[in-house]
Amino acid sequence: MHWLTDPFSADFVLRALLGGGLAAVICGVVGTWVVIRGMAFLGEAIGHGMLPGVALATVVGAPVMLGGAVSAIAMSALVGVLQRRGRLSYDTSIGLLFVAMLSLGVIIVSHSRSYATDATAILFGDVLAIDRADLAALLVAALVAVVVTAALHRSFVAAAFDTRIATTLGLRPRLAQLALVALVTLAVVASYQAVGSLLVVGLLLAPSVAAGPWTTSIPARMAVAVGFGWLAVLIGLLCSWHADTAAGASIAAAAIALAGLSSLAAQALSTATPGRRS
């Protein structure tokens, strides 16, 4: 069992496990709604949208998370404006926006003397560099995500199935949509350190996809998704330690692999047990 315990004898790996686990909590809770509402493209867009802010903060020496948050919020606002007033289709507008933001981020970071290192960290994360301040920020973000999701659960459910009924019931679907976009922004920004801006959508989507076949309610799906997320972080860090691979990419790959294995296991069980829900 030394192969399992030895990596976590190093403090930086243990902090990575805790930080990645907190990111898994945020992504498991928020990602469930992203999957249910079909908002994966929005999550990807926000991930790209935070790049200019992260790049600018990296170049000038400002807090990276603050720069990413400001830029991601600006991206979310632009998406909202285009959705209401744009003449292009929703997905075309988002596609143009996130390519523009990605380009702007790379242009900004190219002015840094450590361009290659900075660009790699921005795009793919550096979970092994998580410190105590990052852990505290992730803990706060996880608490906010859980509390907001629980408080607005009825509004999210109603808005997901029929906005007219939600309005009739006084559940304010537009507010629910804004809150959900804010939660997606929070999840992307908070998880940036763990897996980077390009891979964050994998951690946001894959655990919830993996949990889907085994649950029948939204809260249960969130809980199981968090478990799959934690498992992906553990497997990814072990692979990174023993195979000398990039930690963030290993975590994202593990999450997607678990989603695939979960789907295969569910299909096999369904075939072996006729009449079971697929």
Please give the C-alpha separations between residue 194 and each of 23, 32, 90, 92, 151, in angstroms, as whole numbers. Answer: 7, 19, 29, 29, 27
**Cβ-count burial 114-144 (b if 16+ within 10 Å, e if not):** eeeebbebbbbbbbbebeeebbebbeebbee
* DSSP three-state, residue 263: helix
Compare 233 and 168 and report the one with higher pLDDT.
233
264 pLDDT more than 90: yes
pLDDT at 119: 61
> To the nearest 10°, the Cα dihedral for 70, 146, 148, 26?
30
pLDDT at 118: 57
CA distance 42 to 110: 26
Q: What is the mean pLDDT of residues 231-245?
A: 94
* Secondary structure (DSSP) of 34-80: HHHHT-HHHHHHHHHHTHHHHHHHHHHT--HHHHHHHHHHHHHHHHH
The domain segmentation of the chain, as residue ranges, is 10-260
275 pLDDT more than 70: no
277 pLDDT more than 60: no
CB 31 within 8 Å of CB 225: yes
CA distance 208 to 29: 8
pLDDT at 145: 94
pLDDT at 72: 83
Q: With 0-12 CB in 10 A as exposed, 13-18 as middle and 19+ as buried, what is 247?
A: buried
278 pLDDT more than 60: no
| Residue of 259, 265, 261 whose CA lies nearest to 35 | 259
* Secondary structure (DSSP) of 85-148: H-SS-HHHHHHHHHHHHHHHHHHHHTTSTTHHHHHHHHHH--GGG--HHHHHHHHHHHHHHHHH
CB 203 within 8 Å of CB 232: yes
Determine the longest span between alpha carbons in the chain, in angstroms.
61
Please give the CATH topology (third level) of the domain spanning 10-260.
ABC transporter involved in vitamin B12 uptake, BtuC (1.10.3470)
The confidence band for 255, taking pLDDT boundaries of 50, 70 and 90, is very high
266 pLDDT more than 80: yes
CA distance 148 to 138: 15
pLDDT in tens, 105-134: 778 877 766 555 556 666 677 888 898 988
- Lowest mean pLDDT segment, chosen from 90-104, 134-148, 212-226, 254-268: 90-104
pLDDT at 54: 81
pLDDT in tens, 52-102: 888 788 778 777 778 888 888 888 788 777 766 666 676 777 778 878 887
